[in-house]
Structure 1
């Protein structure tokens, strides 16, 4: 994992993004937030499982599905299976070493 800080590479409305093998943060102070960095590391593992492009295609399709379901951007984002897994385990620093493959499917 490579950690970068750049407000120009992170899409508007987000604090950070994981694009294998990089975690890109909007603000340097976020690098000190272990739970936030762990959240992004979980996304890196998800991308390894699916492949980078399929991950983002699935992410986008699921976001649109959840948006139609909830009619609210924040609710749609927080209910994407990838995000549900990452939020559920971001403070668990022993999760990734013991995580089984395709675990995000339990959050569909």
Structure 2
């Protein structure tokens, strides 16, 4: 389900997936197939990790990356979940062929 709310989407972002919803900052973004595919990849990741553990691992990895890079944006860009979503957001068939827990292949050590 897609919901529009400029107040629930953090500043600097246009969308966020919080299972089972995708929150978008603006209504016209519903037509952005790349963005929607990116958020659907996150929904699949969340589902695979039974939702709550996804947020724990996401936050933990973000903190590790933030300590390593000392940059919010660089830390965010290097989270394995984000790396998978960004790498495949333009492939609209990705979710049909994606392997279970494929985000593991995007973990950087």
Superposed pair shares fold, TM > 0.5: yes
2:53 match: secondary structure: helix
**Aligned pair 1:42/2:44, yes or no?**
no
Question: Please, what TM-score do these two structures have when normalized by structure 1?
Answer: 0.95
Map 1:11-90 onto structure 2 (within 5 A): 11-90=10-89
State the 1:45 CA deviation: 0.2
Aligned residues: 107
State the 1:11 CA deviation: 2.3
Aligned mates of 1:87, 1:26 — CA distance in 2: 19
Structure 1 alignment gaps of length 5 or more: none
Aligned mates of 2:35, 2:55 — CA distance in 1: 20
1:40 match: secondary structure: helix
Q: Which residue in 2 is equivalent to 1:104?
A: 103
Aligned mates of 1:62, 1:95 — CA distance in 2: 24
Question: Please, what TM-score do these two structures have when normalized by structure 2?
Answer: 0.94
Structure 2 alignment gaps of length 5 or more: none
Q: Which residue in 2 is equivalent to 1:3?
A: 2
State the 1:14 CA deviation: 2.1
2:17 match: secondary structure: strand
State the 1:21 CA deviation: 1.1
